[in-house]
Chain A
Amino acid sequence: MTTELLQQAAASNQWIAIAPELLVGCLALLLLIFEIVLPKARHDVIPTLAILGLLGIIGGFIVNYDTPFLDQETFNGLLKHTGTGQFMRLFFLFAATGVCVLGTVALKRQAMSKVEFFSITLVVTGAMMLLAQVNHFVMLFVALETVTVGFYILVSYTRTNPLSLEAGLKYLIMGALSSGLLLFGIVLLYGVAGNAAFAMHTANSMHFGELRAFLYENPDNLLASIGIVLVISGVAFKIGAVPFQIWISDVYQGAPTPVTAFLAIGSKAAGFALLLILVSVFDGYQSLVIKVLSVMAMATIIFGNVAALTQHNVKRLIGLSGVSHAGYLMIGVIAAISVPYAVGAICFYLLAYMLASSVVFGVMTHVSGDDDADQDLDHYTDLAKTHPFLGAVLGVGLGSLAGIPPLAGFMGKLLVFMAAFEAGLYPLLGVAILGVVLSIYYYFGWIKAAFFPQWRPPVFEGDDPIPEPARQAVGTSARVLLATAALATVLLGFYQGPLGQWLGLS
C-alpha cells in the first residue's frame, strides 16, 4: 500500500467506520497514562475506568449500530462491514467488559501489577473487533497476531505461578505453529491466485473478493486446496478444534481465570467470526471445506466430551467442554453454507455461550483460592448452602452450557440443530446428540458437587486435611455482572423477541 492510498483513506471519513476500535485503543493508552500519572495508592480507579469506558463505548456503539458503511468496503478493501460483523463487534465489547469485571475480582489476590491486564485486554478486544470485519489476508494476519501476542502476555500474567508460565510457553509454541500454518496457507493462496497462467488471476489476490472470484473460476487446484486447508487449520487453533485442541486444557488451567474466560469466550468467538467469513471466501471449494469441517466437527465433539468426562479440575473441565461447544458451532458453520439463518443461529449460540460462560467463570473466580490453577470440583461442596447466590447462578450457567431448556443455551443448540437438519447433516447431528448426552454427565457432576449433600470423609485426630480455599465475598460489580448474565440467560430461553428478529431468525 502506497502513501497516497493512506492519504486518500485519511482524507475520506472512513476512520469513522472503526471509531469503536479506535476508542478502545485510546482507552487502553489512557489507562497506561493514568498508571504513570496517578500515585500508586490510587491505582484502584483504573479498573473502574476501564469498565466504565467500555460501557460508554458499548452505549455509543448501540446508538450508532446502523452504520452507513454497512455492506461496504473501507480502507481499500482491508475491511468490509457486515451485519454479522456488527454483531460480533458488540459481542467482543460485552465480553471484554465481563472479563474486566472478573479481572477486578481475581487479580485482587495476586501480588501482580493490576493495570496492564486491563490495557492488554482492551488492545486484544480492539483487534478482535477488527478481525470480525476483515476482508483481506494482510488485515487478517495483523489482527490475529495482535490478538495472539496479547494472549501470550495475558496467559502468563501471574508470573509467580509456575503453571501460568508453563501455560504461557505452551500457548506461545502452539500459537507460533498455528501462525506459521496460517501464513503458509495464505502464501500458497496468494501465489496461486496471482499466477498469470490461471483464468481470473489477480494482482490483489489477498483481497477476499478477488480471491473468492478466482477460486470460483479454478475449482480443482491442488495448491489452492492445500492453502485452504492450512488457513482453516490456523483458524482451528483459535477455536480449539481437533486436532488443534492440544493446548487447551493446560493453557486454560494455567492462565489466570479471567484470561481463561477471555480465551474461552473472546478467542473462540473471534475464530468463528473468521471462519464464517472464510467459508464464504472459499465458496468455490465448498465440498472440500465441508469435508474438512465435518471431520473436524465430529472429532471435536467426541474428543471434547469424552476428555471432559474424567476431569476434576474445573478449569480443565470447562476448557474441554468448550472444545465440544466449538464442535457444535462448527456444525452451524457447515449448515450456514446452505441455510442462511444458520448464521443467526451461530450468533445466538455464541451469545448464550458468552452469558453462561461469564456466569460460570464469575463463580469460579469467587470459589478459587490463591492458587488460581488449583480449582477442584471438591471445592464446590455445599456452595448452594453457604452461598445461595453463587449456587443459583452457577446452576443457571451450567444448565445453559449443557443446553437444558428453558435456558438460552438450549435455544442456541436447538437453532443450530434445526439449521443442521435443514442442511441434511444427519451423521453430524447424531454425533452432536451423543455429545450432548455425554456432556450431561460432567455438567451434572459439577451441579451435584455444588448442590447435593455430599459424603465427606470423617476427620480423625492427627489427620491433616488439605484445607479448601476460602470463598470470596461477592462484590457489587461482580454481583451485577452475574445477576445480569444469569437473568439474561433465563429470559432469552423464554423470550427471544426482538433479538430473534434482529438476528434474522424470523
Chain B
Amino acid sequence: MQSFDILLFAIVSPLALALAMALGLPQALAKKLAYVAFAIPALAGLCVWYRFGEAPTEGTYAFLNTYDTGLDGLGIKLTLGLNGISLPLFVMAGIVGLAAGLYALQSVAERLNTYLMLLLIMQGGLMGVFASVDIFYFYFFHELALIPTFIMVGIWGGRDRNYAAMKMTIYLTVGAMLSLIGLIAIYYKSGAQTFDMIALREAGLAQGLSTVAQNNIFGLLMFGFGILVSLWPLHTWAPLGYGAAPSSVAMLHAGVLKKFGLYGLIQIALPLLPQGAAHWATILATLAVIGNVLIVGIVTIAQRDLKQLVGYSSVMHMGYAFLGVACISVVGAGGVVFMMVAHGLSVALLFLLSTSIYHRTQTFDLDEMGGLVKHAPVLSAFFVAGTLASIGLPGFANFWGELTIFVAAWKAFPILTVISILGVVISAIYGLRAAARVFFGPQTEAFDKVLAEKPAGDLTWAEKIPALLLLAGLLLLGVWPKAMSPAINASISEIYPAAAQVVPVDVAHN
C-alpha cells in the first residue's frame, strides 16, 4: 500500500475531465485541460517504468493497491498493479493515448468537445485495462473504452460509418460476451471464487483446473479474445471499422484497445490454462498463419484504400502475435508482449499519417494519389519510417518482437514459421508499394485538381509532435530493446508453468 496511487491517478484524470465536460465545463477551458489529462497517463507510464525495477512486488505485481467497491464478498474488488507483462502495455497505452489526444486536439472535428470527452473516456478505460489485477475490472475497463469507439465511429466516421459501427458493435459484443463467460468459468472452476489474478494463480498452482475444463475455457477465451483481436476468419469487422473510424479512434483502438485480447491470453489464459492452451495450440497457430498472415496478407496487397490497407495490415500482424501465443513458451509470450508494444506504436503512427495524407489529397484512394513527396517531404519521411517499422526492419521495435516470435515458433511449428516469415515479404510488398504510390509516383490529374483548390503543405508542428512521439518510441525500443525486455522476461518466467521455461511444449503429443 502506498499513499499516492499513481495508477489510479492515471486512470481517473481523463475520466474526471470527461465527467466535468459532460456536466458543462466551458469549451475553451476544457480544451486546455485536455492537454493535461492526456499527458498525465503518458507521464505516469514513464514514471512507473522508471521506478519499476526497485518497486516492491507481490506475486510479480508492483504498485499494488486495492479498493473495495461493495462486491468484496463475491471476490470482486478494484485491484491495481503492474507486472512485467502489463507494464510495457501500460506505458504504450499512455504514449499512444497522448499522441491520439494531441492529434484530436488539432483536428477540426464537428462538436469537438463531445469528441474529446469520448476520447478521454476511452483513454481512462485503456489505462485501467492494463493496470487491473482483478480480471473483472480488466474486462470492465475494456468495455468502458470500447463503448465510445462505437459512438465515435457512428458520429464522426467516414464512408459506411453506420454499417461499420453496427458491424463492429455486434462482432465485438460477441467476442466480449464469450470472453466474459470464459472469465466467469475461470472464477468458478479454479475453486478460488475470486477474480483476483494473484489469488487465482495461487489456486491454479495449488490444484489446477481439470483438463476438460481447461480445454473448454481456453476455447471460449481463444475465440472470444480472438474476435476482439481480429483472428481470421472473425476479422472482417476490423478493416471496415478502421476504415470508417476517425483517426484518433483508429489509433487508440488498433494500437491499444485491440491488445486487450492478446494481453488476456498471455496474462490470464496461458498461465492458468496450460493444458487447454496446448490442446488448441495447433488450431490457433494454423488459423493465425494461414488465415491472418497469408490470406489477409494477400488481401492487403489488393487494397486500394489507404486507411483500409493499414487496417488490413494490422489484422495481418495480429497473426504473428497469435503464433507467439500458440508457442506456449516464455520466449514466445515475451515476443508477443514486445510485438504488441511495437505494433501499437507503429499502427497508430500509420493511422495518424494516413489521415494527414487525406487532409492533403482529399482522398484515401491510392489510385488518385502520387507525387506528394514534392509538397510534403517530412510527411513522406515519417510515412516511410512507419512503413519500414511495420514491415519489421532492424532498428525498429517491431523487428525484435517478430524475431523473438519466429525463434520461439521454429521448434513447435516449423512449416508455419516458414510461411509466416514469407509474410514479411508480403508486408514489404504492400507497404512499400503504398508508400511509393502515395509519395513517389507521378502526380495524378485528380491530385492536380485538389492542389489547384488547396495547396498541400507539409506536416504542421501540431501533427509532427504526436508523430515524433510514436516514432521515438519505435526507435528507442528498436535500438535498445533491453529497456523493456528484462521486466517482461522476469514476470513471464515466474508465472509460466515449468514446462514452458526450457523448451516450447511439444504440442503434437498433447
Contact = CB atoms under 8 A, between A and B. Distances in A.
Contact of A506 (B73, B143, B154, B169): B73
Contacts of B29: none
Interface string B144-175: 10010011001100000110011001100110
A172 to B, nearest CB: 40
Main secondary structure, interface of A, reads helix
Contacts of A162: none
Contacts of B139: 405
A301 to B, nearest CB: 13
Contact of A421 (B71, B154, B162, B184): B184
B188 A436 contact: no
A440 B170 contact: yes
Interface in B406-430: none
B129 to A, nearest CB: 12
Contacts, number: 90
A414 B71 CA distance: 12
B181 A440 contact: no
Given A405-B143, A406-B144, A433-B178, A444 B74 contact: no
A494 interface: yes
Interface in A468-506: 494-501, 505-506
B462 interface: no
B479 interface: no
Interface stretch (A49-57, A208-216, A445-453): A445-453
Nearest to A455: B162
A272 interface: no
Contact of A448 (B22, B70, B162, B184): B162
Interface string A387-402: 0000010010001000
B104 to A, nearest CB: 19
Interface residues of B, number: 32
Contacts of A444: 150, 166, 169-170
A448 B166 contact: yes
**Prevailing SS type, chain B contact patch:** helix
A452 B173 contact: no
B155 A451 contact: yes
Interface string A210-248: 000000000000000000000000000000000000000
A441 interface: yes
B185 interface: yes
Chain A, interface size: which category?
Answer: 35 or more
Given A406-B140, A433-B181, A451 B151 contact: yes
B169 A440 contact: yes
Contacts of B151: 395, 447, 451
B177 interface: yes
B72 interface: yes
23 contacts: A395-B151, A404-B143, A406-B140, A417-B181, A417-B184, A418-B184, A421-B187, A421-B188, A422-B188, A433-B181, A436-B173, A437-B177, A440-B173, A444-B166, A448-B162, A452-B154, A452-B161, A452-B165, A497-B70, A500-B73, A505-B71, A506-B72, A506-B74
Interface of A: 341, 392, 395, 399, 404-406, 410, 414-415, 417-418, 421-422, 429, 433, 436-437, 440-441, 444-445, 447-448, 451-453, 494-501, 505-506
Given A417-B181, A437-B173, 14 more contacts: A341-B73, A395-B151, A405-B139, A405-B140, A418-B187, A441-B166, A444-B150, A452-B165, A494-B69, A496-B69, A497-B70, A498-B70, A500-B73, A506-B71
